[in-house]
Chains A and B, each alone.
Chain A
Amino acid sequence: EAQVTQNPRYLITVTGKKLTVTCSQNMNHEYMSWYRQDPGLGLRQIYYSMNVEVTDKGDVPEGYKVSRKEKRNFPLILESPSPNQTSLYFCASSLGSSGRIGELFFGEGSRLTVL
């Protein structure tokens, strides 16, 4: 089954404790992206990657890191989480070619709470 898998789905952590949210897709997609969803703000892009070893900042990259060492994986790293990073996070992927970046496939989301 074609899917984007995120882990963990739920996490409660404390300020400053490094954490990684993993994302994996099995559709051989070139394009991958991370979003955060907050009430009243919709979805905001954190980082995206056009292909392996190519990453770029989105609209709200501060406090986050990403890497794209393999095509299928795109982990989101919070080196020193703070309470303002409490949010619902989504990973998404797309073929990324022929103008199809808009046709995103989303994971089920990871709800992160930073105390």
Chain B
Amino acid sequence: GNSVTQMEGPVTLSEEAFLTINCTYTATGYPSLFWYVQYPGEGLQLLLKATKADDKGSNKGFEATYRKETTSFHLEKGSVQVSDSAVYFCALRSYNTDKLIFGTGTRLQVFP
């Protein structure tokens, strides 16, 4: 079946450090891939998405590239801020279903 695997957290970084959060997936066909962010006490918000291989999603300085050959969609940011502290969820939607499958989430903590 379809699934998403994320690196376990928490990821702890100093401000201005480089961020990578790994995400790999298992799916038939060509899924759409998403990153959602959950700030403390809030619901999830869509951060970025990619719908086909080699697409790069980007938003708020975050980027992720849809790599079909490695079935990955790693989230990156060149210089994190304290305000980026949140839980990040990778997700996929298979081309033939109405379901969005989430990973378990990765907590990011950024210290000044």
Contact = CB atoms under 8 A, between A and B. Distances in A.
Interface in A35-75: 35, 40-45, 48, 50, 56, 58
Contacts of B91: 102
A50 B45 contact: no
Given A41-B104, A42-B105, A108 B43 contact: yes
B64 to A, nearest CB: 14
Given A42-B89, A48-B99, A103-B49, A109 B104 contact: no
A104 B100 contact: yes
Range, interface on chain B: 20 to 34
28 contacts: A31-B98, A41-B104, A42-B104, A42-B105, A43-B44, A43-B102, A44-B102, A45-B99, A45-B100, A48-B98, A50-B98, A58-B99, A96-B98, A101-B93, A101-B98, A102-B32, A102-B49, A102-B91, A102-B100, A103-B46, A103-B49, A104-B36, A104-B100, A106-B43, A107-B43, A108-B42, A109-B42, A109-B43
Interface of B: 32, 34, 36, 41-46, 49, 51, 89, 91, 93, 98-100, 102-105
